[in-house]
Amino acid sequence: MSAPTRESLYAPRHWPSWLVAGVMRMILLLPYPAVMAVGRGLGRLVMRFAERRVRIARTNLQLCYPEMTAAERERFIRDNFAAMGMGVMEIGMGWWWPKHKVESLLLTVEGEENLPPDDGRGTIFLTAHFSSLELSGRYLGHRTASHAMYRRNENPVIQALFERFRTQHTIGIIDRNDVRAMLKALKAGDGVWFAPDQNFAHKGGLFADFMGVPAATNTATSRFAKMTGARVIPFTLFREVGGYRLVIEPALADFPSDDVQVDTQRVNDLYTRWVSRAPTQYNWIHRRFKTRPDGAPSPYQ
């Protein structure tokens, strides 16, 4: 599909999208605590109208936290939607706030010494879909150069904004379906920001436990590392009171191995550990367990 022209982006049918972007920019003039308060309120408001997503989150929690009571589960979901609302505000922060303002909120960096040397070897920066995902890429971009993987948005205005601002803070963006471009970047010694923690029902996937539940998982982390010789450095961003904690872990040792199942389970174990650290900040509204072993019916039906 060809990219929309500048004229079509400003057509009347897109004015509501530009209005939303303008309102977000105005909100971002507020102090950080107020911005986060707006985000929490937005998330809880959206929850009232997102019945399908609430059901998905409820099902995920029933699978991953069977010991939760119904009341605990509902409180968790409210907190999760609040976190996702704050994540929307953080998208705007990542796009429009200057570097010094973004950096002023970084409380701690764990493992900055684990950033890769400039040795001509590619790096897969492995992350996951936490609500602060967009902002985590901005913090990574302040410390090392990398490409950002992305999924094309159906709204051309949002797509244009993602392309503009992710390109500003990275060395380029790569469509998640463009495997050739990702491999080329890694073979050239570049870094690639990669989050493969969603349901994967395509050829080349397999089942590995996530939060104690078999999940259809993308094996690309292992395969791409093997094909390009790239190192894999896990990183993520946790939201804390008054700011953020950026975690950059050591490159995965003995990875990839000769067993793609073992490698993929290692990745899911990493995600499980992160989720256990900040459970309400993870994206629970995704149908992570839609594809079931042996063709069993989806738990979301």
**Residue 1 in domain:** no
Per-residue pLDDT of the chain (301 residues; tens, 9 = 90+): 455 666 688 889 999 999 999 999 999 999 999 999 999 999 999 999 999 999 999 999 999 999 999 999 999 999 999 999 999 999 999 999 999 999 999 999 999 999 999 999 999 999 999 999 999 999 999 999 999 888 888 889 988 898 888 888 888 889 888 999 999 999 999 999 999 999 998 888 899 999 999 999 999 999 999 999 999 999 999 999 999 999 999 999 999 999 999 999 999 999 999 999 999 999 999 999 999 998 899 999 8
Strands in the chain per DSSP E: 106-110, 123-126, 147-150, 173-175, 191-194, 206-210, 213-217, 231-240, 243-248
Q: How far apart are CA 130 and CA 150, in angstroms?
A: 15
Whether 300 maps to a domain, the answer reads no
In this predicted structure, what is the pLDDT of residue 159?
87
247 domain residue, yes or no: yes
Q: Residue 1's pLDDT is what?
A: 45
Domain membership of residue 226 (yes or no) is yes
Which domain does 78 fall in, by range? 6-295
Cβ pair 252, 232 in contact under 8 A: yes
In the chain, the N- to C-terminal Cα span, in Å, equals: 32
Q: Is residue 124 situated within a structural domain?
A: yes
Distance in angstroms (rounded) separating the CA atoms of residues 51 and 288: 17
What is the count of structural domains for the chain? Answer: 1
pLDDT of residue 6: 61
**Token pair listed for 65:** 């936290």
Per 3-state DSSP, the chain is made up of helix, strand and coil in percentages (nearest 5) of 50, 15, 35
Encoded tokens for 43: 């998330």
Residues 6+ apart with CB under 8 A from 72: none
CA distances from 248 to 136, 143, 153, 167 (A): 11, 11, 28, 22
Q: Give the pLDDT confidence score for residue 182 in this predicted structure.
A: 95
Place of tokens 């491999």: 183
Kindly state whether residue 256 falls inside one of the protein's structural domains. Answer: yes
Q: Determine if residue 229 is left, alpha or beta; phi over 0 gives left, psi from -120 to 50 gives alpha, anything else beta.
A: left
Instruction: Kindly state whether residue 251 falls inside one of the protein's structural domains.
Output: yes
pLDDT, residue 5, reads: 65
Q: Looking at residue 3, what is its pLDDT?
A: 59
Query: Is 105 domain-assigned?
Result: yes
pLDDT at residue 83 in the model: 98
